[in-house]
């Protein structure tokens, strides 16, 4: 998979899509591929059908012409499906587009007028081109017909190999990608831009409701998706729909932080009859039934074995008025095998609804559970809420490849430091970010030991600690284990685990994916490479 300017480009014609998909299969991981690139220079508006960056060779601008194309007396002609024939000048069109793009890139301060190899070519995916074709303005090697597509990248590399300028490096192509993403507005406008992205993400998330429409007649469903795919929104929406239908619904999760968020979300539903009957953590549900919670957090056997057993016994004797017609479980990957029988014991009937929302890559707790009943799996493969710059850092850690549909935002920044220095560097990063962001926009998260500020706030009680999440006057301090399902516009991630553990990869994935708009990572690059892979480190350094 090459470096893509856009995971979901817009194509003017099916022929452009065919050429783009062909190149995507042939290009290497350090090459660049884009489509529909518009350039406006000196009053002239140019559109580049396909842009290819070939590491070690050059950058090639492609003009794609579908249908039948031929030369007649020096004039290019194109016949459309309706048999209409019109004159075209594709060679001059692509040549001017190349110069417009090169001029635009040369004037960007990030490029510093460096020289690389530029070339242009014509692609006729449905037209055969004879081997002896030649015109003064277009040599045979600069035109690709339908029989040339199979070896197209090899031909483009040969075309771009000219001795006058040096070939582009991978870093050059990454800079080119960033330049074509546009120059960002002044930092003072970052909050306004984040608001616009949030509105767009909300619209995209609401479109996911079609998933619930598709399964409205089903009772047992598991919706799986990566970070930023809208699972929590769908979980609340499903609980709301079921409640509106007159069902008694429990909306359940594991973490206190997510439970606090869900309670606030549900409280905003105008019609009280559309709100689920219970919203909270699995353990709060047991407490409501009369179960006695373990006295300390260190009592693992109490939380994981005795309490679920007590809850199952209490659930089995609940009166009909206290049972549920459906349970909706968010972040279900954190539920252990022991918890599910207790939860299911509170259902009214054997065919009561069970709706599970999960992300296997966020399985950061040392428990491997799953409901003991068959569920119909549905996949959400689009990231909607993170900027593309942030999404590209963690997509390789996700269980499957996700389409990045979030907007563009500030570049991700890596502050290289030893694990024992990560908290100090993270504090410094927060101070700098507060010049451009509000305190309520920023969270500092750790992967290892907690930040001293988090410890101090938690000493005042967990409820008061999570109230600080919505405090407009202060930055939030947390740990990735407690931040699952939550997000912040800006996250400073302190990678302060001294050594790799079994769950380090998942913790890193959760931490990277909590930022919607801007991400700063403070940590040891060798550790990040070891845990997340070379591709992750490259994306942080890009």
State the pLDDT at residue 366: 47
Token readout for 140 is 């045979």
State the pLDDT at residue 511: 95
Angle separating helix axes 525-532 and 534-541, nearest 10 degrees = 130
What is the rounded distance in angstroms from the CA atom of residue 92 to the CA atom of residue 98? 10
Spatial CA neighbour of 85 closest among 99, 72, 101, 74: 72
DSSP state at residue 68: E
State the pLDDT at residue 126: 92
CATH 3.40.50.2300 for the 403-541 domain, yes or no: no
State the pLDDT at residue 42: 63
Token readout for 203 is 């619209």
Angle separating helix axes 170-180 and 90-106, nearest 10 degrees = 100
What is the rounded distance in angstroms from the CA atom of residue 184 to the CA atom of residue 110? 12
Record the pTM: 0.65
* Contact residues for 517 (Cβ-Cβ < 8 A; gap 6+): 190, 193, 194, 197, 387, 390, 409, 410, 441, 489, 490
State the pLDDT at residue 96: 92
Residue 155 · residue 140 · CB < 8 Å: no
Residue 240 · residue 276 · CB < 8 Å: yes
Residue 445 · residue 511 · CB < 8 Å: yes
Task: Region of 83 please: left (phi>0), alpha (psi -120 to 50) or beta.
Answer: left
State the pLDDT at residue 369: 63
Its CATH architecture, for the domain 218-380, is: 3-Layer(aba) Sandwich (3.40)
Burial class of 416 by CB neighbour count within 10 A (0 to 12, 13 to 18, 19+): middle
How far are the Cα atoms of 32, 93, 100, 180, 354 from residue 52, in angstroms, in the given order?
6, 17, 16, 13, 48
Answer yes or no: same fold for 218-380 and 403-541: yes
Each residue's pLDDT tens digit in the chain (542 positions)? 899 988 878 888 899 999 999 999 999 999 999 999 988 766 678 899 999 999 999 999 999 999 899 988 889 999 876 678 889 999 999 999 999 999 989 888 788 778 899 999 999 999 999 998 989 999 999 999 999 999 999 999 999 998 888 999 999 999 899 888 765 444 446 777 777 777 777 777 777 788 888 888 899 999 988 888 889 999 999 999 999 999 999 999 999 999 999 999 999 999 999 999 999 999 999 999 999 999 888 898 999 899 999 999 999 999 999 999 999 999 998 898 899 999 999 999 989 999 999 987 655 444 556 788 999 999 888 888 899 999 989 888 876 778 888 888 888 999 999 999 999 999 999 999 998 899 999 999 999 999 999 999 999 998 899 999 999 899 999 999 999 889 999 999 999 999 998 889 989 999 999 999 999 999 999 999 999 999 889 889 87
Question: Edge-to-edge strands of the sheet including 326-330?
Answer: 278-281, 249-253, 326-330, 353-358, 220-225, 376-380
State the pLDDT at residue 185: 45
Domain ranges in the chain are 3-181, 218-380, 403-541
Spatial CA neighbour of 319 closest among 343, 346, 339: 346
Spatial CA neighbour of 493 closest among 433, 427, 426: 426
CB atoms inside a 10 Å sphere around CB 240: 21
State the pLDDT at residue 43: 64
What is the rounded distance in angstroms from the CA atom of residue 93 to the CA atom of residue 65? 11
What is the rounded distance in angstroms from the CA atom of residue 50 to the CA atom of residue 144? 13
Spatial CA neighbour of 332 closest among 279, 395, 255: 255
* Contact residues for 26 (Cβ-Cβ < 8 A; gap 6+): 152, 153
State the pLDDT at residue 208: 77
State the pLDDT at residue 188: 45
């Amino acid at each position: 998979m090459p470096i893509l300017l856009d995971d979901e480009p817009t194509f003017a014609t099916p022929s452009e899509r065919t050429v783009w998909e062909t190149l995507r299969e042939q290009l290497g991981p350090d090459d660049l591929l884009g489509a529909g690139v518009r350039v406006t220079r000196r009053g002239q508006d140019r559109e580049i059908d396909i842009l290819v960056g070939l590491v070690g060779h050059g950058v090639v601008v492609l003009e794609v012409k579908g249908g039948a194309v031929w030369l007649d007396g020096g004039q290019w002609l194109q016949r459309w499906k309706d048999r209409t024939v019109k004159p075209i000048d594709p060679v001059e069109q692509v040549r001017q587009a190349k110069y417009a793009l090169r001029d635009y890139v040369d004037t960007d301060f990030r490029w510093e007028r460096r020289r690389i190899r530029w070339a242009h070519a014509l692609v006729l995916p449905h037209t055969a081109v004879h081997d002896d074709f030649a015109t003064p303005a277009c040599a045979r090697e600069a035109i690709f017909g339908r029989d040339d597509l199979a070896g197209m990248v090899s031909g483009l590399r040969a075309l771009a190999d000219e001795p006058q300028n040096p070939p582009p490096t991978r870093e050059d192509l990454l800079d080119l990608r960033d330049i074509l993403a546009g120059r960002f507005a002044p930092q003072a406008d970052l909050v306004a831009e984040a608001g616009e992205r949030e509105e767009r993400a909300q619209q995209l998330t609401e479109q996911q409701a079609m998933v619930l429409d598709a399964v409205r007649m089903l009772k047992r469903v598991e919706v799986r998706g990566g970070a930023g795919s809208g699972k929590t929104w769908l979980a609340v929406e499903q609980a709301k729909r079921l409640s509106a239908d007159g069902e008694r619904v429990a909306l359940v999760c594991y973490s206190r932080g997510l439970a606090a968020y869900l309670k606030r979300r549900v409280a905003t539903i105008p019609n009280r009859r559309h709100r689920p009957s219970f919203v909270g953590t699995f353990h709060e549900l047991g407490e409501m039934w009369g179960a006695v919670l373990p006295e300390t957090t260190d009592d693992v056997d109490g939380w994981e074995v005795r309490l679920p057993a007590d809850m199952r016994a209490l659930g089995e004797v609940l009166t009909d008025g206290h049972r549920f017609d459906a349970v909706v479980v968010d972040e279900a990957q954190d539920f252990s095998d022991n918890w599910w029988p207790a939860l299911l014991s509170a259902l009214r009937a054997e065919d009561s609804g069970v709706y599970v929302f999960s992300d296997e890559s966020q399985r950061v707790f040392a428990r491997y559970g799953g409901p003991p009943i068959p569920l119909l799996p549905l996949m959400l493969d689009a990231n909607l809420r993170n900027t593309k710059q942030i999404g590209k850092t963690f997509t390789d850690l996700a269980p499957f490849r996700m389409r990045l549909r979030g907007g563009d935002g500030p570049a991700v920044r890596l502050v290289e430091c030893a694990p024992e220095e990560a908290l100090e560097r993270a504090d410094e990063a927060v101070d700098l970010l507060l010049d451009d962001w509000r305190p309520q926009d920023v969270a500092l998260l750790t992967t290892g030991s907690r930040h001293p500020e988090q410890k101090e706030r938690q000493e005042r009680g967990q409820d008061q600690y999570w109230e600080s999440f919505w405090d407009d006057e202060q930055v939030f301090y947390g740990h990735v284990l407690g931040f699952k399902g939550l997000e912040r516009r800006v996250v400073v991630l302190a990678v302060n685990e001294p050594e790799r553990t079994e769950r380090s990869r998942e913790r890193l994935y959760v931490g990277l994916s909590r930022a919607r708009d801007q991400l700063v990572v403070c940590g040891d690059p060798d550790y990040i490479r070891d845990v997340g892979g070379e591709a992750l480190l490259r994306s942080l350094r890009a």
